[in-house]
Chains A and B, each alone.
Chain A
Amino acid sequence: MSTSQLNPPADDELEVSVFGPGYGESIVIHLGGGKWMLVDSCLDPNTGFPAPTKYLADFKVDLASAVKMVVATHWHDDHIRGLSAVFRACDSAQLVISKALATNEFLSLATLYSQRPFAETTGVDEFVRVLRMLGERKKRGAQLSPPTYAVTDRVLHIDSLQLASLTVDIKVSALSPSDASILKADLAFAQLMPRENLPKRRLVSPTPNHASVVLWVEVGQHKILLGADLENTADPMTGWSVILDEAKVISGKASVFKIPHHGSENAHENRVWPEILHPNPWAVVTPYRGGKKPLPSPTDVERIASLTNHAYATASARQQKIRWGERVVRELVKEVAREIHGVYAGWGHVRFRQKITDPAPNWQVELFGDAYPLSGAPKLPSPDTIPHRA
């Protein structure tokens, strides 16, 4: 990390750090007073370690005591890689998972698929590892509670902070999944459960993601909305509609917004911006390069940039060409594949910091690695070539 990246926040500073290597995201929040919460996990492509714990370890934070909450907003592998290592290190943290993942259907699916030999860890592998770890802790008689299950309007964490003569309240609440979303997720998991005599394959994530956990974080006057992967749906009892119409824990407006589902059109709900966000909020999007269409698309970027002047991305969504080390590999790949591109391209960190006692939103923005501003951004750089040695 650069020298400035290594400056820890002051006790009276609120911080929201978002990491995204182009496939995966993770959020680290300093709630004040040396208390932290982690949301999801991804791997730092330079070191292979989970990004959130590596970041905190570089500050010499005692992970075992300072991290109060670890939240897995859902089980897809782009949000959960390295989570088991994070949870192991954050020994006293409360684990929060979606209530939609506490059903027999999902747990059966997860245990069934967690034992397959794959080159790459799957979301369910990590998830089951975390649950088994919890089980082992409980067997050892550790004084930990079982996971807290996120569902609309559930308050997940309450705390307070003493800053000089001021008492600052901290509250973290879940805005999703709704009851209807939990039911839909359960039905989707039931359909994914294989039947006898069917071939074994890798588990394919259902879309839309009904299990996703959207979080509302309040520290004093400041509110933060973390949109996870929640998409819009036609059903008003699921997606963003039900949050806007039914959620009771929302008070005030958020000045920081982690844009959901990599900025996709499917996850954009116009009403979110005027109804529960400050005008011109500080917004961050993590790109996704998996799949046919990279996200955010140029149209998505335009839309986001039109809604706020403070929009940032952790890395570029642009797909990058590959430079092959061996000629024969290059030639044969060209014959066999119509198109091929790298999934990881760059690594970025967007950091917002704000004095807790300053009531007006005035976030200081720092961009590290390949993070860049979406709003008023200079033209995107021309495609780079990344070396790819066979």
Chain B
Amino acid sequence: MSISESGPIVAETAPADATMSTSGNKAEFLTLEAILAKPNSESANRTQVVHFNGGSDTFAVRHPRPYLIPLPRRLVREYFIALQKWEGYVTEVGQDTFHARLIPLLGEGSDLEAEIWIEEIDGEDRTLLQPGAIFYWSIGYLDRPSGRQRTSIIRFQRLPVWTKRELEAARAEAAKLKELLDVN
């Protein structure tokens, strides 16, 4: 991996409250010392190009003027406790609904099949709505500082797309399996 420009990347915004707060029972969040970022005398908008995967992939980030950044420990404020959770996969997509098989992840119960309203799916997730697509459906309570809310969440699985490497590896393994099995 290489970074084409030297110097740190800095955050876009500075948190208003710089106080370190202690909350007991943190789940292993780190404590870092505050880092002073020197004002950048060059253009306010910096573009930083980051290469990874041996230079084959490139990613660009544009940054505004840097700020002084103390690092408060952020308290988590929202908790979702599921009462029921399924992993589902889409079997058929219709006009207003889609059909899916549901496998329980939480609690008892056996496999179900459901016809789910497409309008229950977030706009961005609808592009993923295809036969074979995997999703997670959770029902429970979302606890926030503002109060408790009963909630149903459907979220589609997001994994990297198929790569040439993976497809070639599968073909290579298939060839080995075929040889091993002496197909006649």
Contact = CB atoms under 8 A, between A and B. Distances in A.
B81 to A, nearest CB: 11
B181 A201 contact: no
B162 A102 contact: no
B162 A194 contact: yes
Contacts of B40: none
Contacts of B132: 201-204
A379 interface: no
A290 interface: yes
Given A200-B159, A291-B91, A146 B112 contact: no
B110 A342 contact: yes
B162 A200 contact: yes
Nearest to B176: A135
Interface in B82-118: 83-84, 87, 89, 91-92, 97, 99, 101-103, 105, 107-117
B152 A111 contact: no
A292 B162 contact: no
Interface string B119-141: 01000000010111110010111
Interface in B42-100: 83-84, 87, 89, 91-92, 97, 99
Contacts, number: 168
A326 interface: yes
A135 B162 contact: no
Contacts of A109: 170
A70 B9 CA distance: 61
Contacts of A340: 102, 112-115
Contact of B162 (A196, A335, A336, A341): A196
A183 interface: no
B139 A196 contact: no
A290 B150 contact: no
A318 B133 CA distance: 27
Interface size class of A (residues with CB under 8 A): 35 or more
Given A134-B181, A201-B134, A202-B89, A343 B110 contact: yes
Contact of B177 (A107, A120, A202): A107
A334 to B, nearest CB: 10
A338 interface: yes
B59 to A, nearest CB: 17
Contacts of A135: 177, 180-181
Nearest to B166: A112
A199 to B, nearest CB: 6
A197 interface: yes
A329 interface: yes
Interface in A278-332: 289-292, 322, 325-326, 328-329, 331-332
Contacts of A343: 101, 110-113
Contacts of A131: 177, 181
A389 B107 contact: yes
Contacts of A341: 112-114
Which 7 A-B pairs have CB atoms at the shortest separation, nearest pair first? A201-B132, A107-B174, A112-B170, A119-B87, A108-B174, A343-B111, A340-B114
5 contacts: A131-B177, A198-B162, A204-B131, A290-B91, A333-B114
Given A291-B99, A332-B139, A336-B117, 12 more contacts: A104-B171, A118-B134, A132-B177, A149-B183, A196-B167, A203-B132, A322-B112, A325-B107, A329-B83, A332-B150, A340-B102, A340-B113
Interface of B: 83-84, 87, 89, 91-92, 97, 99, 101-103, 105, 107-117, 120, 128, 130-134, 137, 139-141, 150-152, 154, 157, 159-164, 166-167, 170-171, 173-175, 177-178, 180-184
